A and B are shown apart, each in its own frame.
Chain A
């Protein structure tokens, strides 16, 4: 118990310490990775812990990003209410699509979520007059001052990303250790048995979708706010595949996995793009090798090889 808490709080503290020592480039990268890791954390709650593979999470990420961005550009909202608007947009979208998609299972669930995300992407393009379609729109620095903190400044951006990431990490740790989180794992392992034990499986799966969508949306909203841009490409299929990659790489069903996976993949692409233009080739090779030799992901392997206590 205490070593679990120590490990996670240690990571949080380490990331805070990084703020003071990292060179500018990696400082900026880590801020980005932390925000994206929240997206992966959201995805992991559904995929890793509940066992539901969604191929349409970009819908939630984009709902947050556009909920936030449009609140600012169309309604003139301040950043804090805009973030809230993004979160609510994500929760509502997740609530509706979750209720529909959960009527299906397995491959059909994957496809339905994919279809909903595709419809969402096209909807952003369709309302091009306010969303500016694929071009997207800029959120000006003056609109990104949260409680007096200028989020366009690298230091505040890093600290904001760190605060968000810490909150999401601790929340996900608390969730999986909470009885509710444990029933999610029970559903993943054996849905029929969970149902026989008297759990309302359908309701719990829906709540898992909503939590997962909410965290993803928060990540999308924060991404738009911190980096000053919202665009339709964030709603495309590729951004539904990314969290899957990150989570699998880091380790599905582990609390630290999403962060490790996001960080690893980010630098993998960043470094290989200097060697070849076909840098996604390496991502492909890594994925194949992972499935062959480390299907549990990096953190999952660590857990398998001795650290069995890792949550």
Chain B
């Protein structure tokens, strides 16, 4: 059996000490007024290898919150973002979660991308009973590894993305696939899900090339690509992505096979950078199309304007500053899900956190709109994971042009967990 907290003794000691100065800070805040802002703790990669993503996650978050506040906030209360740098580090991430819960008295925590930070932070969020909305695209939420307080309602997970890509690869590009991926968790999500998906579609993954993290030169790995390769599937993250793609081009020269990449390999990188000419004609997965498409929805036009990105996915202030367009929409959409959840549950303070989670778990269809500019979504309350459309673009005259849109169903898979059976 489990002994429960010794709160009584703690409280008794507090009373014994008497003096108000020694009272814990959190008791002083206990009688918060309902007009006070709703505080959202934003865990952001300001430094470390995730910094390029962090900057754009921050801008998207500020834009979404500004818009929510203009429209009257949530339940009549303004939203306040309290941002803390997690250094793209798992230990610091967990500390930041504690800071949100116990020092800033945030209502919820939200934000981060890199999987190790999410996995390091989620146990603390669960213990502190702090709803933790992640925008990570990792499969960790839906795999059942985390807990009832951790949700991913704004971005699809890698498993779903990869699975939805497989039919296009085998039908349109070729049957013999070679994969190049980073030799750590994020890469394994790709490896573990692509191989069975390709095989299910009658193709074959003939070689897996895992690149060690922190690697800065890549050419020496490319000779492992078998000659009979018909499709090269690449995904890479971190500061060395441009080197990776450039060296890939230099390696193949004019004799390249079909190349299919996850745009992660080029997030925050200008596709017109010197050395990337060989990408012409190759394909990319995109969570959301970086370059404005001719049939762009009014919602996405508004989204671009509010976040401050141009038709090439770069900052309006500096065209050299390219966004992480395929991922950052997740921040916008997650914040809108939080708003919807808080309104549905009549959220008034930390005592309603469980009700908030139940309200989000009850969500299913999320139609395309201002709240969901990337496209319609379907939320699975049991696995805490959202499902949505994926886009495949081809580089045509230096523009990422959408050539295929998958259906939501293409990315669905059987539930691996039912978080709703866990107690709060």
Minimum distance in angstroms from A24 CB to a CB of chain B:
4
Question: In the complex, what residues of B have CB within 8 A of residue A32's CB?
Answer: 95
B2, B47, B115, B126: the one contacting A145 at CB < 8 Å is B2
Number of A-B pairs, beta carbon distance below 8 Å: 135
Q: Does B98 contact A (CB under 8 A)?
A: yes
Contacts A155-B10, A228-B124 given; indicate if A133 touches B212 (C-beta within 8 A). Answer: no
B14 to chain A minimum Cβ distance, whole angstroms, is: 7
In chain B, what residue has the closest Cβ to A273?
A: B85
Q: How many residues of chain A are within 8 Å of chain B by beta carbon?
A: 46
A23 and B116: CB pair below 8 A?
no
Bitwise, A153-165 to B at CB < 8 A (1) or not (0) is 1111000000000
Contact check, A128 vs B184: say whether CB atoms are below 8 A apart: yes
Do residues B13 and A21 form an inter-chain contact, with CB atoms below 8 A?
Answer: yes
Cβ B25 vs Cβ A21 within 8 A: no
Q: Which of A134-142, A166-174, A176-184 contacts B (4 or more CB under 8 A)?
A: A134-142
Pair A133/B183 contact, Cβ less than 8 Å: yes
Task: Verify B119–A138 contact, CB threshold 8 A.
Answer: yes
- B116 in complex: contacting residue of A19, A136, A279, CB < 8 Å: A136
B91 proximal to A (CB < 8 A): yes
Bound Cα distance A96, B127 (Å): 38
B99 touches A25 (CB 8 A): yes
Residues of B contacting A: mostly? helix
Let me know if A139 and B123 touch, CB within 8 A.
yes
Name A25's contact: one of B2, B4, B103 (CB within 8 Å): B103
Residues on B with C-beta less than 8 A from A194 are none
Pair A135/B122 contact, Cβ less than 8 Å: no
Cross-chain contact A128 with B120 (CB below 8 angstroms): no
Residue of B nearest to A36 (CB): B91
Interface residue? A227 (CB, 8 A): yes
Question: Which single member of B3, B98, B115, B127 contacts A29 (CB below 8 Å)?
Answer: B98
Contact B24 A231 (CB under 8 A): no
Question: Shortest CB–CB separation between residue A7 and chain B, in angstroms?
Answer: 24
Within 8 A of A (CB), among B184-208: 184-186, 188
| Interface bracket on B | 35 or more
Cβ < 8 Å to B, chain A residues 108-147: 122, 125, 128, 132-141, 145
Contact, CB under 8 Å: A227 / B212:
no
Query: In the docked arrangement, what's the CA distance between A139 and B183, Å?
Result: 23
B5, A20: Cβ atoms closer than 8 Å: no
User: Could you tell me the distance between the alpha carbons of A231 and B90 in the complex, rounded to whole angstroms?
Assistant: 8
- Given the complex of chains A and B, what is the CA–CA distance between A240 and B297 in angstroms? 51
Tell me the complex Cα distance, A232–B183, Å. Answer: 13
Asked if B212 and A28 sit within 8 Å, CB to CB, the answer is: no
A150 to B89, CA, bound (A): 26
Residues A24 and B24 in contact, CB atoms below 8 Å apart: yes
Q: How far is the CA of A156 from the CA of B89 in the complex (A)?
A: 26
Shortest Cβ distance from A159 into B: residue: B6
Bound form: Cα–Cα A274–B46 in Å:
12
Pair A155/B5 contact, Cβ less than 8 Å: yes
Q: Which 10 A-B pairs have the closest CB atoms?
A: A135-B185, A228-B123, A23-B24, A20-B13, A25-B103, A25-B102, A24-B102, A133-B184, A134-B184, A277-B46
B-side interface residues toward A, CB under 8 Å?
1-7, 9-10, 13-14, 17, 22, 24-26, 46-47, 84-85, 89-91, 94-95, 98-99, 101-103, 115-116, 119-120, 122-124, 126-127, 138, 140, 145-147, 183-186, 188, 212-213
Beyond contacts A24-B26, A128-B183, A136-B120: 7 other A-B pairs, Cβ-Cβ < 8 A, are A20-B13, A21-B14, A27-B24, A128-B188, A141-B126, A148-B1, A231-B120
